[in-house]
Structure 1
Amino acid sequence: MSTNLPLIWQAPTWPAMHYEPIPVTGELARAHRAQGVVEGKLAGLGFEQRLELAAEAWSQDAVATAAIEGERIDLISVRSSVGRRLGVGNKIGPAAPRSVEGLLDAMDDAVRERDAALTHERMYAWQAALFPTGYSGMSKIVVGAYRRHAEPMQIISGRVGRETIHYEAPPSERVPDEMDNFVAWFNAETEHDSLVKAALAHLWFESIHPFEDGNGRIGRVLIDLVLARDSGEVGRLIPISQRLLDNRDEYYAQLERAQHGELDVTEWVLWFVTQVRVASEQASVAIDTALAKAMFWTNHRDNVLTARQRKVVNLLLDAGPGGFEGGMSTKKYESIAGTSRATASRELIELEEMGLVCRVGAGRSTRYYLNIVGWGPADPVRAAQDGPAQGEDRS
């Protein structure tokens, strides 16, 4: 099987790749500004809140980087493992498989040991951690070392007999030399902005495709390493892998275009920097939500709530701006709190009187939302007119 697409490995070699600074400069400034906003907002949070945000972002990103490769891992077990590592949140949960623990080990090493040099052995350890049994699915693979098979390393999609070859990496015998060049470049001081370096490093590594399996996840760990060197632990809060998962088709398309084009990789760099900016903006929204929660409880610290009321309010807080779809009704409260209809109605009215929630609508169409600016329905008049969701008990 062969492809007519040109291979970037024919010459010149990767250190000659370049990008045009002018198209990238404006987006770089916006991305760094978004990163700076994240750092600034974090200053308004306590240490424990920062850890909780970092734990959730790390958990979501671990699930996302696996999902990009088509692997589904359990978010609850990841959260409990991350909680134990950071000493925060719910640390009691189902044990994560060894391969998942290995992924978290690699991601953690990139952040905690961000000042350590990148070496072949360090990447060997990351890749071996992903495949603790030495198998990828049903296939025995080389772990803790670069690939050595004689057949070409091809990136293929489609069913058997109808495959599409997206890219062919350099042959295995060239991998050690290619990776020597890559490691030397990665560790050297360069003129590249950190986000540009992350983009180039990821593209270069994925193009070498040095391992039999795990290249995508290791390539995204390298992004974590570059960003951690730039912003430290704050980098955990910026969900790059989640953003790439959300745009997986475009992510693959951009990599493919860069690998089959000339050595001008401006389009890839610009696209990657934009993803960092958007991921930073998403992190900023998450921090806003955490700040709103903290301020909410500070404002209502003197209110005495029943255990049921506190449970419902916490669920609404966890749901974030907009809360539950259709708002909180007496029926929902009754179900969540495990209480009678009369008690649910009375306790919701008490929450309104204490100022924790605000009411929209009247009679059977009454719905309650947290009393936080911007957290209610976008159109309260429409919400009142619409009444209960389809199929919901109107009482």
Structure 2
Amino acid sequence: MLYPAPTLGPADDQVLGEIDGLRDALRHQIQTTSPKRTDGLRKFLTADAVAASNSIEGFKVSTIDVQDLMTGERDVEVSDENREETLAYQRMMTYIQTLHDAEDFSYSKGLLNALHWMLQGHRHTVRKPAGQWRRGPVYVTDARDPSIAAYTAPGAEGVPALMNELIGWLNAADGAHPLVRAAMAHLHLVSIHPWADGNGRMSRSLQTLMIAREGVLAPEFSSVEAWLGRPGNTWEYYRELSDRGATYLPDQDVSSWIRFNLTAYHQQAQTVQGRLDRSGRVWGALAEFTESTGLDERVVSALHDVAMAGRVRRSRYEQAEGLSLQQAQRDLRDLTTAQVLEPVGRTRARYYRAGSRFPQSALDIAGTPMTLRNPYTS
């Protein structure tokens, strides 16, 4: 038995309508913004989702380091374990993004287990098999005392039937809003806990896939994983899950879970909109700066990375502008000579940050925080 979807109240319907409006406006803005700028935002959002979802499970890698790892940088100061987890999650996320418009798509045991292998294959053991339903019990332990089970998942013998029911539900249309269905899918999967490990990230990824399949926004703009990874939101996330009980009790009202997810959708849309607006203003300030100083306009993308993320590496700039190694090196050397950028580190590990003559106006715009509103209380 799966959790029954709750009936939405008037406040929920209003928030859902606002979310639809925000996402439609964001889609229009993305379509009318230059690909060079939106490509950078897509990569940032993917890296942010990977960093956040992994951080919930204790793998701490900053978004900027994830971006560097995604571009193939090897000299990133992260542990081997964190590197492996980051790249595994990024590979799975990349595949999920390609499925957003796949024809003849359907959910299946094979698809879910293949995604799990991408995520956990590097940890495969007989005791904790990757890409297969678990063969024994699994517990979520209390963060304060690992000897206490905060949640005990259904017995392994019941997992195949529960997953068959879930897959049937995923492939059936029930008339519910796609965002509500995606939130319910997350809850169903994380409660069944069908694998020995990786259940939280798989559940969040399934939610991302379902939102992406909806087709309103490109997959990179669809995930709420970055929102869930913020410390206060992570605590609320755990609280919502713990409120479901210490064992699998699907015959209950899960309205608060839906409200939690609608808040996540709403605030993540606000966040992406704010970052896109701020990115555009930073780009404009940097374009004015390069024009007034006689710099080639292509260096704006490198300066934009520095303003928005704090640093740029030669490989990122080279890929963003389609330059040769020599061209990228020459541009960054010229910017260093002009004291617009300042190099940090040596040889392959080198990156560049703002120098003494970097335009302060761009840094001020990039550093201005935005305010998020709670759609249920504002």
- Same fold flag (TM > 0.5): yes
Aligned to 2:334: none
Q: 1:130 maps to which residue?
A: 119
Q: How far is the alpha carbon of 1:180 from its aligned partner? A: 0.4
Q: What is the distance in 1 between the residues matched to 2:153 and 2:63?
A: 33
- Report what 2:12 is aligned to: 24
In 2, Cα distance between the equivalents of 1:248 and 1:242? Answer: 10
Residues 1:317 and 2:302 aligned together: no
Partner amino acid, structure 2, of 1:201: A
Which of the pair has more CA radius of gyration? Answer: 1
Query: CA distance change for structure 1 residues 157 and 112 in 2, over 3 Å: closer, same or farther?
Result: same
User: Whole-Å Cα distance in 2 between the matches of residues 286 and 43 of structure 1?
Assistant: 16
Is 1:102 the counterpart of 2:92? The answer is no
Q: Does the CA-based 8 Å contact 1:111-1:233 persist in structure 2?
A: no
Count of aligned pairs between the two proteins: 316
Question: What is the identity, as a one-letter code, of the residue corresponding to 1:180?
Answer: N
| Residues 307 and 366 in structure 2, CA contact (< 8 A), matched pair in contact too | no
Q: Which residue pairs with 1:370 in the alignment?
A: 361
In the other structure, the counterpart of 2:347 is none
In 1, Cα distance between the equivalents of 2:65 and 2:309? 21
Residue 377 of structure 1: how far off its partner (Å): 7.9
- Kindly provide the amino acid, as one letter, of the partner of residue 154 in structure 1: Y
Aligned pairs (5 A) from 1:1-395: 13-14=1-2, 16-73=4-61, 75=63, 78-83=66-71, 94=76, 97-114=83-100, 115=102, 116-135=105-124, 140-149=127-136, 152-158=137-143, 163-231=147-215, 234-246=218-230, 247-259=233-245, 263-300=252-289, 302-305=291-294, 317-318=307-308, 337=342, 369-370=360-361
| C-alpha distance in 2 between matches for 1:249 and 1:47 | 36
Matched position secondary structure for 2:141: strand
Distance 2:86 2:304 in 1: 30
Counterpart amino acid of residue 22 in structure 1: P
8 Å contact 1:107–1:224 — kept in the other structure? no
SS of alignment partner, residue 259 of structure 2: helix
Q: What is the Cα deviation at residue 157 of structure 1?
A: 0.9
TM-score by length of 1: 0.69
> Structure 1: which amino acid aligns with 2:94?
D
The AA in structure 2 aligned to 1:167 is Y
Look up the equivalent residue of 2:224 and give its one-letter code.
Answer: I
TM-fit CA distance, 1:226 = 1.0
Equivalents in 1 of 2:368, 2:234: separation in Å?
Answer: 31
Q: CA RMSD in A?
A: 3.5
Summarize the Cα distance change of 1:310–1:62 in structure 2 as closer, same or farther, 3 Å threshold.
closer
| AA in 2 matched with 1:257 | D
Contact 1:23 1:270 in 2 (8 A): no
Letter in 2 for 1:282: T
Gaps of 5+ in 2: 311-337, 344-355, 370-378
The alpha carbon displacement at 1:299 in A equals 3.9
Note the C-alpha offset of 1:176: 0.4
Question: What percent identity do the matched residue pairs reach?
Answer: 19
Q: TM-score, normalised by structure 2?
A: 0.72
Q: 1:312 Cα shift?
A: 11
Q: Per-residue deviation at 1:156?
A: 1.6
Letter matched to residue 39 of structure 2: L
CA distance in 2, matches of 1:370, 1:144: 50
Counterpart-to-counterpart distance in 1, 2:295 and 2:60:
39
Q: C-alpha displacement at 1:227, in angstroms?
A: 1.1
d(CA) in 2 for partners of 1:225 and 1:282? 20
Partner AA of 2:139 in structure 1? Q
